A and B are shown apart, each in its own frame.
Chain A
Amino acid sequence: MSTAIFSRSAWLVVAMCGAGAVWAQKTASDSIAEYRAMLQDGNPADLFEAKGEDLWKQARGPKKVTLEQCDLGKGPGVVNGVWVELPRYFTDTQQVQDLESRLLTCMETLQGFDAPTIRNTPYGKGEQANITALATWVASQSKGMAFKLPQAHAEEKRLFELGRQLFYYRAGSHDFSCATCHGQDNKRIRLQDLPNLTTNAGAGLGFGAWPAYRVSNGQMWGMQLRLNDCYRQQRFPYAQFGAEAGIALSVFIGVTARGVETTAPSIRR
């Protein structure tokens, strides 16, 4: 009798252990998925959106002018739909520009801010923080739209090809390229899934997420900072704000994302 009870208990214990191991595995990744789902409601990016909208309409800078005449690619003052067509070529600067560098151009030309100083200001500080808020708001004005970056101009095509070369460029002390982490499907670093930026779906997921609120550090990050931090972790030197390499990578990834709906501003780990 006692043997039978012991055996049954032992079986129960073993079954629970077995089930427990499986349960533990499922719960780990499931819990993370649940956590991420919970984060979708009440995205602090909303706070930055509100701030960005205020900044757009506020007379600021040495010239005390608003940004309401800023041309982000679809004419002065047009904000609706510009996010999904950036980066693009601008005739006044004769450069392909992304949203953040274009906002800086407007802050310089319309409001009289000193662009070199702002370029060298650390992310999250001073006017850099304002650029991030503005970018968050502008991105939000294209919610639900699909990416359709232009590739008509020769410079846009050149940057696409340049971006592709850069994507595969292995260097730094660790021999990492962008492709090392973002060149295959279904890979992750630790528990962080990595979008394959060379496919349409992956590029859409990756490119369409930024600007994003990063829960892990409570910071709002635009694509410029995202690229800067990728390069930092690749052990490269400091990728400068608005420089050609970052714009080219954005063109490469953004064009690859053609047709995918943007989700920016999103929330991330």
Chain B
Amino acid sequence: MADPMRIRAQAAGSKINVRVLMSHEMESGQRKDVNGAPIPAWHIQEVSATHNGVEVLNAEWGPGVSKNPYLQFTVKNGKAGDKINVTWKDNKGESRTDEATVS
């Protein structure tokens, strides 16, 4: 079970500013270990976010994204108390969803 994401969602006027820190190794697959053997790719491939159950963001990530990725986005027409859900899926089939309440 992967480590939880840290999600901060704050209402600013009618918008919601969302900041997400994801815990993931994000191995690009290009690196080699001390013996010269390639370290297998292990990284998030898909990220999606919902606002009160409605999908507002969908992203495809490649090996260029760094370890412990930081994602920031703004949702229109939201208010305090709304629910923001973020889900990531990686190339090994692992997945993680976390929820935050807009403050």
Chain A–chain B contact at Cβ < 8 A: yes
Chain A positions near chain B (C-beta within 8 angstroms): 41-44, 46-47, 50-51, 218
Residue tally, chain B, CB below 8 Å to A: 11
Determine if B23 and A47 form an interchain contact, defined as CB atoms under 8 angstroms apart. yes
A218-B66, A218-B68 are known contacts. Are A42 and B19 too (CB-CB below 8 A)? yes
Majority SS of interface residues in chain A? loop
| Alpha-carbon gap, A50 to B98, bound state (A) | 14
Distance in angstroms from A122 CB to nearest chain B CB is 13
Least CB distance, A12 to chain B, in whole angstroms? 38
Query: Are A46 and B21 in contact (CB-based, < 8 A)?
Result: yes
Distance in angstroms from B13 CB to nearest chain A CB is 20
Mask for B71-85, Cβ within 8 A of A = 1, else 0?
A: 010000000000000
Query: Interface on B for A, CB 8 Å cutoff?
Result: 3-4, 6, 19, 21, 23, 66-68, 70, 72
Least CB distance, A31 to chain B, in whole angstroms? 18
Determine whether the beta carbon of A42 is less than 8 Å from that of B21. Answer: yes
Find out whether the CB atom of B19 lies under 8 angstroms from the CB atom of A47.
no
CA distance A47 to B19 in the complex (A): 13
Determine whether the beta carbon of B21 is less than 8 Å from that of A44.
yes
Given the complex, which residues of A lie within 8 Å of B3, measured CB to CB?
47, 50-51
Q: Which residues of A contact B21 (CB under 8 A)?
A: 42-44, 46-47
Which A residues lie within 8 Å of B68 (CB)? 44, 47, 218
State the CA gap A42–B71 with chains docked (Å).
Answer: 8
Taken together as a complex, chains A and B put the C-alpha atoms of A50 and B2 apart, in Å, by 13
Quick one: closest B residue to A220, CB to CB? Answer: B68
Contacts of B66 in A (CB 8 A): 218
Q: Within 8 Å CB of A42, what residues of B?
A: 19, 21, 70, 72
- Distance of A43 Cα from B19 Cα, bound (Å): 11
CB distance from B4 to the nearest CB of A (A): 7
Neighbouring A residues of B19 by C-beta, 8 Å: 41-42
Specify which chain B residues have a CB less than 8 angstroms from the CB of A44 in the assembled complex. 21, 23, 67-68, 70
The 8 closest A-B pairs by CB, nearest first: A42-B70, A218-B67, A44-B68, A47-B23, A46-B6, A46-B21, A47-B21, A42-B21
Smallest beta-carbon distance B103→chain A, Å: 16
